[in-house]
Structure formats: structure tokens, C-alpha cells
Amino acid sequence: MKLSTLLFGGIATLVGAQTATAYTDAKSGITFQAYQHTTGYFLGVALPEDPTGNTDFIVTIGGKGSGWSGASLAGPMKNALLVLAWPNNNSIVSSFRKTNQYGSPPVATGTFTQLPIANGTYTNTTHWTYTFVCSKCIQSDGTTFVANDNTTVLGYALSSTAPSQKGNAASSVSKHTSQGQATFDLVKARSRDFATWKTWAAAPKVANAL
């Protein structure tokens, strides 16, 4: 029995760690499926109850310290819609990025926008947190998951080093100090409260300093 416990523990460490679980942000009250990294990084998503034709979802992303946190809405770094955010003097700076090569990804432009949710966007004594409606973010060109996916893999990346121009949302960044992919149960990420949460968001921003 002891041997099988040890074996199971070893396997769980290898394949079980990169999975999102339920997480409620205390300040906004929004419930996400979220991946949490030992560094304090986290990435959560919330979706509407009916996925049919949906293009919008809510993202919460954050971390500890002064470095950046990023996400790939398709899983890989390359040819995916990326979200990149970092704290700057108690506010958050964020942008969409996209690249077809490994290197600091340039700002991406498109119909997608970020609409910040005020009480889900804050810095406390331990973490910074940015919560926004990702509007028109679900794309059909392979750069994101698709509306009727019941499960998906999202990419995460973080650096403990702050971008060179913290006040500029288009700043280049140095390479992540940790990166990988995590499985998200999108059925569990759906909520009948999504429509209400979505109304809490403010005006759209593409590359923004909040």
C-alpha cells in the first residue's frame, strides 16, 4: 500500500499539478476556474452559462512582486492571442500580444478588447490582481479556444523581472522565469451569474494603464 501511495504521489506530481480549480475572488465575488502557480501567479476564467456563439469571457490574472504575468488563450506561446499584464505603482498595465516566434511579443490589434472590472482590479499587501471582460476574445482562427470547448489547455508564463518601461503597455519584456500549460474545465467555468458580472465592466481598452 505504501508503495502504491508513493507511486500515485509521483504520478500526481507529474500529470496532476497543472489543473485549474474553483476560485472566488474575495473583492469582486466572481468565481473562476483558476490555475495557481507556487510563485503566486494565477490565471482564472469565467464563462456564460450558454456557450452558443459566445465570444466573451472574464479573465483574472495576477501575481506577487513587480514582475509580469502572461497567458496564452490557445495554449502555446506562438500564433496565439496572449494577455500580458504587470503592476505599476498600485495600478495595472495590460495589453494583448501575438507573435510567430519566441521573443518579446509585440502588441496585437484586432476587435478584441479588455474591459476592466474595478473591484477585481487591485493591489493588496501580497498580490496584484487584474480582472477584465475579454470582449470578442474567442476567435475562430486557432489563436484561442473555441466557444463550445468543454475543456481546454491555456498557457501561462511569468517573470519575476519587471518590464523595462513599466508605464508603457507596449513595453518589451524579458523571457519568463516559469512557463507551461494548464487544463481548464470550461463546463465548470460557466456560470449563470456571468451576465451580471459582465455589466460591472468599464469602457474598453486595448493597451491600457489602469
Ligand X SMILES: *[C@@H]1O[C@H](CO)[C@@H](O)[C@H](O)[C@H]1NC(C)=O
Between the CA of residue 75 and those of 116, 118, 182, 183, what are the distances in Å? 23, 27, 8, 9
Q: How far is CA 17 from CA 14, 180, 190, 203, in A?
A: 7, 11, 22, 36
In the list 13, 90, 101, 140, the residue contacting ligand X (rule: CB under 6 A) is: 90
Q: Is the dihedral of CA 123, 62, 172, 204 positive or negative?
A: negative
CA distance 159 to 150: 30
Binding-site string for ligand X from residue 42 to residue 61, where x marks contact by CB under 6 A and - marks none: --------------------
- Candidate list 124, 164, 172, 178; residue touching ligand X; CB under 6 A: 124
Q: Name the binder of 101 from ligand HEM, ligand X, none, CB < 5-8 A by kind.
A: none
Q: All 3 cell numbers of residue 143?
A: 489563436
Distance of closest approach, residue 196 Cβ to ligand X, in angstroms = 8
Cβ closest to ligand HEM, residue 39 vs residue 179: 179
Neighbours of 8 (CB within 10 A): 11
Among 4, 13, 101, 126, binds ligand X (CB under 6 A): 126
Cβ at position 150, least distance to ligand X in Å: 4
Task: Name the residues that contact ligand HEM, by CB under 6 A.
Answer: 70, 72, 76-77, 82, 84, 97, 102-105, 155-157, 173-176, 179-181
